[in-house]
Amino acid sequence: MKPKGFDYLRADSVAEATEALAQGGEDARLIAGGMSLVPMLNFRLVEPSILIDISKIKDRKYIQEKNGMIEIGSATRQCELEKWDQVESKLPLLAKALPVLGHYQTRARGTICGSLVHADPSSELPLCLATLGGEVVLSSTKGERVVKAEEFQTGMLSVSKQSNEMVVAARYPIAQGETGYAFREMSQRHGDYAIVALAAVVTKNKIKLGVGGVADKPTVREWDHLDGTDLDDALNAFAWDLGGYDDIHATARYRRELVRRLGKKTIEEAKNASVR
Amino acid sequence: MAEIIEKSKFVGQPIERVEDNILLQGKAQYSDHLATRPGTAHAAILRSPHAHAEIVSTDVSRAKAHPGVFDVLTGEDIEKISDPFLIVLRAPINQWALAVGKVRYVGEPVAIVIARDRYVAEDALSLIEVDYRALEPAVDQEAAALDGSPIVHEAAGSNVVSTREFTYGSPNEAFAEADKIVKIKVRYPRNSQTPLEGFVVNAEYISGEDLYDVASNYQGPFTSHPVMSMALRVRNSQLRMRMPQWSGGGFGIKVQIFPYVVLICLASKIVGRPVKWVEDKLEHLAAAAAAPNRVIELEAACKKDGTVTGFKFDQLDDYGAFLRAPMPGPLYRMHGILTGAYDIKHLAVRNRVVLTNKCPSAMVRGFGGPQMYYAIERVMHQVAAELDLDPLDVIRKNLVPEGVFPYRAAAGALLDSGDYPKAVELGVKEGGLEELKKRRDQARSEGKLYGIGYAAIVEPAQSNMGYLSNILPHSERQRNPKGGAAANATITVDPLGTVSVTADSIPQGQGHQTILSQIVADELGLKPQAIKVNLDFDTAKDAWSIATGNYSSRFSSATAVACYKAAQKIKDKLARIASQSLNVPPDQIGFAEGNIFDTLNPENSIKFYRAAGAAHWTPGALPEGMEPCVRETGSWSPPELESPNDKDQINTSLTYGFVFDYCGVEIDRDTGAVKIDKYVTTHDSGKLLNPLIADGQVYGAFAWGVGCALYEEFVYGEDGSFKTGTFADYLVPTSYEVPEPQIVHMESPSLVTPLGAKGIGEGNCMSTPVCIANAVADATGAKDLTLPLIASKVAKLIHADEDVPPSQDFQFTKDDGLLRGQGTAYVSATAQDVWRTLLDPVALAAIIPGCHKLDEVSKNSYRAEVTLGVGPVKGRFRAIVALSDMVEETSATLSGGLEGPLGASRGIGHVRLSETDGQTCITYDYAIELSGKVASVGGRMLKGAAKALVNQFFQRLTAQIYNSGTKNITDSGRQGNAIWQWIKRILGFKS
């Protein structure tokens, strides 16, 4: 369980990292926290020619408010957002999701942007980004572009980032008034990959539910206000449409059951939170 | 006997472990830290991605030529220079250290690269090309036992390699006279208590001495030492095994290091340098060993009042691909105690050993107990359920009563001491069972799913080396009767009076140093801190026997006793020396506070170190006939461990403790998750040598018991693929999942060991899984429960059937562990165009994702080099693709296989074309088997990945048709894209 040989570059700036990406081509890879990438390297599932370490780029380590969003730099660790003193008030959904994202130790190294790029279908941060309608900022030697969450993750472990681009920041919309946020997930053990993860955003007129761990990427559905059996039917249709799989931990049917049952509870919780 | 209890000062005290200082500072040297000699080479092992396949050819030339590689060995090389491992049965089940001719499980070693370092060695692994011919595997153990199953070892003629039937008492009469017969069938899963530290072997062949010098974390039993030396074709003394003092855990698994010891020894001999191999976690999970999964049908003959008069056992134990010594231990180690904690006189047993295409089984903490007690305690619960009795009352009614010890159980176990009813009542009272029942009633009244489960078990310790003899009929085993279990310990007192101890327990973290220091300190009147216990081990220097090692809870009733005996010898000797200078007879001499004294006149004393020093400094002045120096070895083999008698009765272990558990669990109605609300475990393990260490053993066994009950299983697909190659899939509970159990102790000293102590480290491995299962049964009313009770499995018990899907388009795929899917794609081209494209090798090369090269080997049959993957995960494969069952422009079957460093795959797909208005509808389905590394580590994503790759194929097919210009399309890009978006939408929802 040793990786195949690769070159290593510790980039001090985004310019240096994107330059190295441009030169490295398809087989260049960025590493920030390495919580997913390093095991994949050790298994030789990923064999990069060059590994560009962006975790030490100083000006990429920040959490700041910008145009109604919270922008998080690519060197910011998950634990830094978790411990950020405004996370409860500005990003209540993330405040609920971060404690179940992996483990204390992995959050101490893993980055916010790294998790978005890795695009694990069960991952909490892409689910929150999709549900809140956030965006990511991509940079390359040719410039910067902003991609909306729904256009960023294209499938399992796949994002619309080009091989010469690097995610330099993620933007999560700031919590609005009279809006409730709730997050739940079911995993076998604390910190495991979610079998089903649910994020709900409820306003006076709208219900938005994002589901992770079922389809190949987080999937969000929005309804005008629904109650009772209408909500049950809507959740049931959503559960079937997600088309989950059987694996050794859970059946597709179990995932549908969780979408129906926990989906309802998550929405209720968000609804109650919005009233307060 | 229990002779020291009265006089002990340190034994029995909760003394802190002397081991913890170095362990907590992180300064302990584990096997991987052992110094290696300059020039040591490093090995990496190529493992089979197939569950069952013939090795057609192996090409190692590129790997051998790789810079930094010293050599590459295959089974053919190994077969010439070593013998197959000796096994317990006389059956043609030959295993060498590398696969010869055939591979029989995923992860089986196929070749070994010896190189400058591990990185280079692993680089070279990917250069070895093995041509396999895949065979149908025997995976399910019940199917494997049937006629017509694929055979794992053809020469053995059947997968069932041993069948034995036993009768004790009059079971037929008991069943004929029963008021009710309660029957259950249980399937105990495969699991293992995975140590933090994997296998490590450092081996050097020293040619001048014709000696293999090995440093490894092998844990015994040393019955497998001759297995290694015979495979290496040397005498025992030519295989020197050294084990370091510190271990990152063993739990039984580390006996299974022995094939690797042989492999690395042979590698060292061939390359002429020391070779080191360190097992990685994937290797460990896939190929180290597992406790055997067992199917048990158990019938209980009952009276109306819940009295059980007889058991009928039918056990089918799955040992995987090979029967490695000392297998089938788990099936026979518990044999004498097949009636558990109960006074049941009539017993019938059928034991069958079956081989399958899985990793070989081995001893794992609990060693056959978890499987057996799962059946016994589930049937006792079921007796209560079916007779409408309280489960605890059924346990009470059937327990071996008080006052009958020593008690001979039906199958031969001699229960040495105890008072089971008293222990049960103690646990009920101390643990607050009545309050727990109120909690349950309260929870139920609130609509919660809450249950209480019980388990009462007998915990055996120190195996009788004759326990496996029962696998042979009495007539055959008479020729070479086996029984007993020897232990050794040596105490040395040096010229300055310093005491040091060595012993044969090969500890894996249990605290043996501390306990031995307590025992010796008590005997010699010293403080435990003054006793230096060194438990690293060297077969070339230390006293050992076949029973040596760390397994079957043999420490407290074996090694500890040997140490006690050695201490008595030292004491006798020093008493005689002291009696000379104190002028009193030796039997009047006492030892305390570093002094040796006249017990009638304590003032008359001599310092301990002076008496000991006399044997070194002035040996000439020693009492007549006494040998110089102070070094004594204590050896011990209890007489109670006899060979099985002519009625097949055997006392399988020396001591038998008692464990009584109960717990309350709550099940989440939405998710099915089982939460342990309260757990009480009551132990009577005889005299507790150190209560702190005893509790530590209970916590550890309990944590694994929780794992077995709720999380842990080695999962295999129907194709034999191994699906739990990481700790994200093999789920070990963490501190979040394991509550702290309430421990209650009772001490009924053993009557068969001088220390009165029994084992305590395995009990909860046996009691906890079934206790939790019984609680889940109580909560749900379910009878058929298969561990681990993961949430999705429990949810199935409590959730009503699902309504039909709202849309009729939803297609269910068969869940047989294969990657299955189906879908529909539309192409704006004629069926003829599509057909032509599929048949054109050049076009096909462009369609197959990641295809570098495609050669037509015969008509419609191709060989290709492809790079496949999802996202950043990529691997290079050699592919074979063939088209068959071809109906022109209508349908075809695509079949093929892939081989590469990430694994092997076989698949079949059907494609059907139908054309309407110049547009072709392609419907397809596929079933893919995937085995090897990527299947073992990526289980969660495989179905999605397969779908993505199949999608890519059709995406490229569409693009190919447009690009090749077979269809004249205006603005093909836009239209293609729009169509593709539409197809994707359909696929996304329907396939």
pLDDT of B968 > 80? The answer is no
- For residue B72, the SS3 value is strand
**Contacts of residue B791 in chain A, CB cutoff 8 Å?**
186, 188, 195, 250, 254
Inform me whether the C-beta atom of residue B718 falls under 8 Å from chain A C-beta atoms: no
- For residue A94, the SS3 value is helix
Q: What is the pLDDT of residue B7?
A: 60
Angle, CA B533 vertex, CA B527 and CA B539 arms, to 5°: 160
Q: What is the pLDDT of residue A276?
A: 58
Tens digits of residue pLDDT in B30-43: 999 999 999 999 99
**Contacts of residue B191 in chain A, CB cutoff 8 Å?**
none
Distance from CA of A158 to the nearest CA of B (A): 5
CA B324 to chain centre: 13
Distance from CA of A152 to the nearest CA of B (A): 13
Taking residues A50-73, what's their average pLDDT?
A: 97
Q: What is the pLDDT of residue B2?
A: 44
Q: What is the pLDDT of residue B980?
A: 43
Cα separation, B83 vs B86, in Å, equals 9
pLDDT of A99 > 90? The answer is yes
Do the chains contact at A1 and B280, CB–CB below 8 Å? yes
**Contacts of residue A37 in chain B, CB cutoff 8 Å?**
872
Q: Which of B282, B902, B941 minimises the CB distance to A1?
A: B282
pLDDT of B251 > 60? The answer is yes
Q: Order across the sheet with A63-66: list the strands.
A: A63-66, A69-73, A166-173, A135-140, A143-148
Tens digits of residue pLDDT in B498-536: 999 999 999 999 999 999 999 999 999 999 999 999 999
φ and ψ at B208, to 5 degrees?
Answer: -60, -25
Nearest CA in chain B to A196: B671
Q: Which of B737, B815, B870 minimises the CB distance to A190?
A: B737
Tens digits of residue pLDDT in B9-29: 999 999 999 999 999 999 999
Which site among B941, B952, B987, B989 would you substitute to test the A interface, given the most A Cβ atoms closer than 10 Å to its Cβ? B941
Cβ neighbours, 10 Å, residue B740: 9
Nearest CA in chain A to B876: A45
Tens digits of residue pLDDT in B353-367: 999 999 999 999 999
Tens digits of residue pLDDT in B228-249: 999 999 999 999 999 999 999 9
| Tokens 């293992």, located at residue | B192
> Which 8-state DSSP code applies to residue B745?
E
My answer on whether omega of the bond before B328 falls inside 30° of 0, hence cis, is: yes
Inform me whether the C-beta atom of residue A46 falls under 8 Å from chain B C-beta atoms: yes
Tens digits of residue pLDDT in B710-729: 999 999 999 999 999 999 99
pLDDT of B976 > 60? The answer is no
Nearest CA in chain B to A246: B815
Do B940 and A122 meet the contact criterion of CB atoms below 8 Å apart? yes
Q: What is the pLDDT of residue B125?
A: 96
φ and ψ at B558, to 5 degrees?
Answer: -125, -80
The H or E element containing residue B529 is: none
Tens digits of residue pLDDT in B907-933: 899 999 999 888 899 999 888 888 888
The H or E element containing residue A170 is: strand A166-173
The per-residue b/e assignment along B860-887, b for 16 or more CB within 10 angstroms, e otherwise, is bebbbebebbbbbbbbbbbbebbbeeee
Alpha-helix residue ranges (DSSP H) falling in B852-971: 933-937, 942-963
Inform me whether the C-beta atom of residue A188 falls under 8 Å from chain B C-beta atoms: yes
Specify the range with the lowest mean pLDDT, choosing from B128-137, B683-692, B887-896.
Answer: B887-896
**Contacts of residue A157 in chain B, CB cutoff 8 Å?**
870-873, 941
Strand partners, A268: none
Alpha-helix residue ranges (DSSP H) falling in B598-734: 608-617, 691-710
Do the chains contact at A251 and B792, CB–CB below 8 Å? yes
Model confidence band, residue B479 (pLDDT cutoffs 50, 70, 90): confident
Inform me whether the C-beta atom of residue B940 falls under 8 Å from chain A C-beta atoms: yes
Q: What is the pLDDT of residue B978?
A: 43
Strand partners, B894: B883, B909
Mean pLDDT of chain B: 93
Inform me whether the C-beta atom of residue A26 falls under 8 Å from chain B C-beta atoms: no
Tens digits of residue pLDDT in A106-151: 999 999 999 999 999 999 999 999 999 999 999 999 999 999 999 9
Nearest CA in chain A to B722: A248
Inform me whether the C-beta atom of residue A146 falls under 8 Å from chain B C-beta atoms: no
Do the chains contact at B806 and A237, CB–CB below 8 Å? yes
pLDDT of B983 > 80? The answer is no
Do B830 and B920 meet the contact criterion of CB atoms below 8 Å apart? yes
Tens digits of residue pLDDT in B833-889: 889 888 888 888 888 888 999 999 998 899 999 998 888 888 889 999 899 999 999
Q: Which residues contact A65 (CB under 8 A, 6 or more apart)?
A: A71, A90, A174
pLDDT of B264 > 60? The answer is yes
**Contacts of residue B799 in chain A, CB cutoff 8 Å?**
257
Euclidean distance between the first and final Cα of chain B, in Å? Answer: 71
Do the chains contact at B934 and A40, CB–CB below 8 Å? no
Distance from CA of B319 to the nearest CA of A (A): 22
Cβ neighbours, 10 Å, residue B39: 10
Taking residues B182-202, what's their average pLDDT?
A: 97
pLDDT of A168 > 70? The answer is yes
Inform me whether the C-beta atom of residue B280 falls under 8 Å from chain A C-beta atoms: yes
Share of chain B above pLDDT 90, in %: 81
Cα separation, B267 vs B214, in Å, equals 12
Nearest CA in chain A to B118: A2
Tens digits of residue pLDDT in B30-77: 999 999 999 999 999 999 999 999 999 999 999 999 999 999 999 999
Taking residues A170-177, what's their average pLDDT?
A: 97
Q: Which of B283, B729, B796 minimises the CB distance to A248?
A: B729
Nearest CA in chain A to B806: A237
Q: What is the pLDDT of residue A47?
A: 94
Cα separation, B411 vs B171, in Å, equals 12
Cα separation, B4 vs A273, in Å, equals 67
**Contacts of residue A195 in chain B, CB cutoff 8 Å?**
791-792
Residue B314 CB-density burial (10 A; 0-12 exposed, 13-18 middle, 19+ buried): middle
Distance from CA of B901 to the nearest CA of A (A): 9
Cα separation, A134 vs B481, in Å, equals 76
Q: What is the pLDDT of residue B617?
A: 95
**Contacts of residue B806 in chain A, CB cutoff 8 Å?**
233, 236-237, 240
Distance from CA of A241 to the nearest CA of B (A): 6
Taking residues B332-348, what's their average pLDDT?
A: 98
Nearest CA in chain B to A100: B736
Distance from CA of B717 to the nearest CA of A (A): 9
Strand partners, A210: A199, A220
Cα separation, B857 vs B844, in Å, equals 14
**Contacts of residue A250 in chain B, CB cutoff 8 Å?**
790-792
Q: Which of A45, A190, A256 minimises the CB distance to B902?
A: A45
Q: Which residues contact B208 (CB under 8 A, 6 or more apart)?
A: none
**Contacts of residue B728 in chain A, CB cutoff 8 Å?**
192-193
Cα separation, B878 vs B862, in Å, equals 11
Inform me whether the C-beta atom of residue B887 falls under 8 Å from chain A C-beta atoms: no
Q: Which of A45, A121, A190 minimises the CB distance to B944?
A: A121
Model confidence band, residue B965 (pLDDT cutoffs 50, 70, 90): low
Do B93 and B355 meet the contact criterion of CB atoms below 8 Å apart? yes
Do B699 and B772 meet the contact criterion of CB atoms below 8 Å apart? no
Q: Order across the sheet with B851-858: list the strands.
A: B819-827, B919-931, B903-916, B891-900, B873-887, B861-870, B851-858
Do the chains contact at A44 and B806, CB–CB below 8 Å? no
B291: nearest Cα among B755, B749, B787: B787
Inform me whether the C-beta atom of residue B801 falls under 8 Å from chain A C-beta atoms: no
Give the count of Cβ contacts less than 8 A between chain A and B: 143
Tokens matching residue B656? 């038998």
Cβ neighbours, 10 Å, residue B633: 18
Cβ neighbours, 10 Å, residue B446: 8
Which site among A241, A248, A268 would you substitute to test the B interface, given the most B Cβ atoms closer than 10 Å to its Cβ? A248
Q: Which of A155, A158, A189 minimises the CB distance to B736?
A: A189
Q: What is the pLDDT of residue B970?
A: 36
- For chain A, positions 3-22, list CB contacts with chain B under 8 A: 3-5
Q: Which residues contact B304 (CB under 8 A, 6 or more apart)?
A: B179, B180, B387
Tens digits of residue pLDDT in A8-41: 999 999 999 999 999 998 899 999 999 999 999 9
Tokens matching residue A32? 């920030």
Taking residues B800-817, what's their average pLDDT?
A: 79
